[in-house]
Structure 1
Amino acid sequence: MNTLKGRTVFITGGSRGIGRAIALACARQGANVVIAAKSDTPHPKLPGTIHTVAEEVRAAGGQALPLVLDVRDDQLVKQRMDEAADHFGGIDALVNNAGAIRLTGVENLKASRYDLMHQVNARAVFTCSQAALPYLKKSDRGHILSLSPPLNLNSKWFAQYGPYTTTKYAMTMLSIGMAEEFQRYGIAVNTLWPKTLIATAAIEFEVGGPAMMAQGRKPDIMADATVSILNRSADELSGQNLIDEDLLRQDGVTDFEHYRYAAGDKPLLPDLFLD
């Protein structure tokens, strides 16, 4: 298997959680990592900024470029993509990790919150992919990976929080389209989603609190799955909606206990959108 040594990976929402874990996993393979997120200064509740992750990336063996980015700003997206490519001499992979969540139905959700979820989830896949495309076309192993689920049209996934669901499914539908559209350029386009809940700030503050986090896994499992995907060519893997554990099992991983967020034998909770 190839490694990511010398390859440039642009990660949105890279300052904490799954984005940070992906940055460090890429760094351990010697990648150039662009940490693009809004977190320029410390948050009162949440640890981590683009600068602290950049330090961790360098310590792990990678090169780092921290960039302040709000994925809703089209001009800034293009500017940051150009800066990253200028700095490292190109871009080989885009990881669309930035996300916004609010598990509320149509009746009680503010339109402004729906707009936010649409812009940060679905629309950012469009704008970031479009901005990265000129550079990905020049890579011999270009990748776009979006963290979104397989399309599951069971109505239960729409009943309580249809607005969020539609924005996450839109990420996947765009990815299915881009896989076909960009096939001629040799660019792989896939999605990745966790089999189980992942213990992140989104879970702690938006979904179920610390007790629920204890029934989840660390972000590292998503990071290891990401590295596995980025090490494959478009001929090997494109147009797929992948699940972290299933992919790693295909790679020969059999022990998943070390990914648990909390020790113990509490059953792990399956993630949203998976029956």
Structure 2
Amino acid sequence: MSSSHSPSRATKPVALVVGASRGIGRQVAIDLAKNGYAVIVAAKSITPLSALVNLNPFPPDPNSQLSTITTVAREIQLLGGDATAIAVDTTSYSSIQSLVFGAVQTYGRLDVVVYNSGAIWWGPVSTTPMKRFQLMQRVNVEGLYGIIQETLPHLRRTSGRIVVVCPPIYNRFFRGKTAYAIGKVGMSVLVQGLGMDFVREGRGMGIVGIWPAVAIESAATEQFTKKDPEYAKQLRKPDIFSDAILAMLEAPVEEINGKLELDEDFLRRYKRVKDFDKYSVVPGSNPKRIMPLILPDLTVEEQNDEGMRADSSKL
């Protein structure tokens, strides 16, 4: 990896997409590149260059194990974009530190972070082993926290933005997947809390959560379509997610900071999108919405009364 960055690179906004080897993350990385971003494609999976030459077909199935950060970066480069693949293990803080160091060393700046990395185990508490629980917390909430800790100093220089794949907070989400929900809602709390920090700091920075209103075709949904091909009629293409993220990056910071948004609802409200048929995996199908139409307001009457604010780092 080069330790210097060219003048042309220095003028481009730079996006770090964590969890970009396949599915939604891959699409987000590709669409950011198409919209003028230099992209750091990050995840655990890589393809040796010798194997990349012989990969057939190329690009591989975007939801298969053959799709890695190496193949995604290569796809972007073949489309005329600027991409660099850097491997990361989000359960390791030292690996996260190496990722961010490498990204800044390569491009000299950081404008956007998208955290799409995630571990999934759906089931009641009684059938969720401790190791699965711990892995989900390390990848989901701890990994996000580590990425934010390392990228914040660089994002502050560009009034950057952070986009996190995490859900709105409502208790139906906990049903049947409590262990998973603990980590994902922890990510949502981080979005709202850091959003409040940004308002206090007044730096023009923003963080936003995004979640699908309708299930999206991905490696996670592939298991269902294999069992029942008709399930594809309930899916949307990942393009809707990247379109919503691009809209969030162009929106005024007050429009997104500290919010927990649904892709469809944000596009409908901010971009005035009315026709979502183009996003259906099966043309002419009408995928079922999986999220509530109205979500709870978590604010309270005393929202602006902070009482005595403390900062343990200064005590």
TM-score normalised by the chain length of structure 1: 0.90
CA distance in structure 2 between the aligned counterparts of 1:201 and 1:213, rounded to whole angstroms: 13
Which residue of structure 2 aligns with residue 27 of structure 1? 33
SS at the partner of 2:214? coil
SS at the partner of 1:137? helix
Which residue of structure 2 aligns with residue 229 of structure 1? 248
SS at the partner of 1:75? helix
Amino acid in the other structure paired with 1:48: S
**C-alpha distance after superposition, 1:225-254 (max 9, x if no partner):** 011111234244311111111111220222
Structure 1: stretches of 5+ with no match in the other structure? none
**Between Structure 1 and Structure 2, how many residues are aligned?**
267
**C-alpha distance after superposition, 1:186-222 (max 9, x if no partner):** 2201100111000111122389855333311011100
- Is the Cα contact below 8 Å between 2:100 and 2:150 reproduced in 1? yes
Change (3 A) 1:273 1:39: farther
1:87 aligned residue (84, 103, 106): 106
Measure how far apart 1:158 and its partner are.
2.2
SS at the partner of 1:199? coil
2:193 aligned residue (150, 160, 177): 177
More relative contact order, 1 or 2 (CA 8 Å, 6+ apart): 1
- Work out the percentage of aligned pairs sharing the same amino acid: 31
After superposition, where does 1:187-226 map in structure 2 within 5 Å? Answer: 187-205=205-223, 209=227, 211=229, 212-226=231-245
CA distance in structure 1 between the aligned counterparts of 2:140 and 2:35, rounded to whole angstroms: 28
TM-score normalised by the chain length of structure 2: 0.79
Which residue of structure 2 aligns with residue 257 of structure 1? 277
Measure how far apart 1:268 and its partner are.
1.1
2:18 aligned residue (12, 23, 33): 12
SS at the partner of 2:223? helix
| Larger Rg, first or second structure (1 or 2) | 2
Which residue of structure 2 aligns with residue 165 of structure 1? 181
Which residue of structure 1 aligns with residue 165 of structure 2? 147
SS at the partner of 2:256? coil
2:134 aligned residue (96, 115, 124): 115
Q: Does 1:39 align with 2:37?
A: no
SS at the partner of 1:214? helix
CA distance in structure 2 between the aligned counterparts of 1:273 and 1:127, rounded to whole angstroms: 31
CA distance in structure 2 between the aligned counterparts of 1:205 and 1:107, rounded to whole angstroms: 23
- Is the Cα contact below 8 Å between 1:152 and 1:274 reproduced in 2? no
Q: Does 1:102 align with 2:108?
A: no
CA distance in structure 2 between the aligned counterparts of 1:63 and 1:130, rounded to whole angstroms: 25
CA distance in structure 2 between the aligned counterparts of 1:186 and 1:204, rounded to whole angstroms: 39
